[in-house]
């Protein structure tokens, strides 16, 4: 039986691996509703030709095409994804498109052996990753000064009792997270690393796009 979400605890890696093993074949269809959020998030990266960009929690690679459009043929994408089944879908996508300069790493974000420094980083629908300080720290440590960072995904539309939209957010979240901790402000730990972030609400407050810049200490 699949593990149940326990909202009082942090993300559960084994539960996440089981969750995405089941979802890998249908993931693209399930995320179709949220494509406007993806497009907005990637636009906020303000990518330039030749940029190096991290796609953290890249899943099946749904963001790769739009990221490549921004960075051009001389840019580079590093996708990080812990689910082998999801990475395999992403690799097939890359092979079909014959994209060069796309590296896919099958690894948790906190232990990913990242060997380049990036101009931008995307965390799209990666709630569990955003609740792991060590994962954020590993990615941030490989950003260039001034790198653009964008996180996007689902959040509670507050206050809870006043927002029927949360009746949509809850079942959607249960399909994609292993802990409901931090759903009020999913970007909070990232903001602690970056400083000020600009947060835009979408879907009647049930989704967000948070953007900021990395300034090295």
- Give the tokens for residue 140: 């941030």
* Domain total of the chain: 1
Res. 2: pLDDT tops 50: no
Q: Is residue 1 part of a domain?
A: no
Query: Could you give the 3-state DSSP secondary structure of residue 39?
Result: helix
Indicate whether 36 belongs to any domain.
Answer: yes
Alpha-carbon span 93 to 147, nearest angstrom:
27
Residue 195, domain extent = 13-213
- Average pLDDT over the chain, rounded to whole? 92
Q: Which of 76, 148, 74 lies closest to 115, judged by CA?
A: 76
Q: Does residue 20 belong to any structural domain of this protein?
A: yes
Q: For position 207, which CATH number holds? A: 3.40.50.150
Asked if pLDDT for residue 177 goes beyond 50, the answer is yes
Residue 207 and residue 144 in contact, taking contact as beta carbons nearer than 8 Å? no
Mean pLDDT of 164-193: 93
User: Does some domain include residue 2?
Assistant: no
Taking the model in full, what pTM does it have? 0.93
Residue 3 lies in a domain: no
Alpha-carbon span 25 to 94, nearest angstrom: 16
């Amino acid at each position: 039986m699949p593990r149940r979400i326990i909202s009082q605890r942090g993300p559960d890696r084994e539960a996440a691996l089981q969750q995405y093993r089941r979802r890998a074949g249908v993931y693209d269809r399930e995320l179709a509703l949220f494509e406007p959020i993806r497009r907005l998030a990637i636009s906020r990266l303000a990518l330039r030709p030749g940029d190096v960009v991290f796609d953290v929690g890249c899943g099946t690679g749904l963001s790769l095409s739009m990221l490549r459009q921004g960075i051009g043929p001389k840019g580079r994408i590093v996708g990080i994804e812990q689910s082998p089944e999801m990475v395999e879908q992403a690799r097939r996508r890359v092979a079909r498109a014959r994209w060069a300069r796309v590296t896919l790493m099958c690894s948790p974000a906190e232990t990913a052996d990242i060997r380049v420094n990036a101009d931008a980083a995307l965390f799209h629908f990666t709630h569990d990753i955003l609740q792991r300080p060590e994962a954020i720290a590993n990615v941030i440590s490989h950003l260039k000064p001034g790198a653009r960072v964008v996180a996007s995904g689902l959040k509670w539309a507050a206050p809870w009792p006043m927002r029927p939209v949360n009746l949509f957010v809850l079942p959607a979240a249960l399909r994609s997270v292993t802990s409901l901790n931090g759903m009020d402000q999913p970007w909070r730990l990232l903001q602690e690393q970056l400083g000020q972030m600009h947060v835009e609400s979408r879907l009647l407050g049930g989704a967000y796009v948070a953007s900021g810049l990395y300034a090295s200490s």
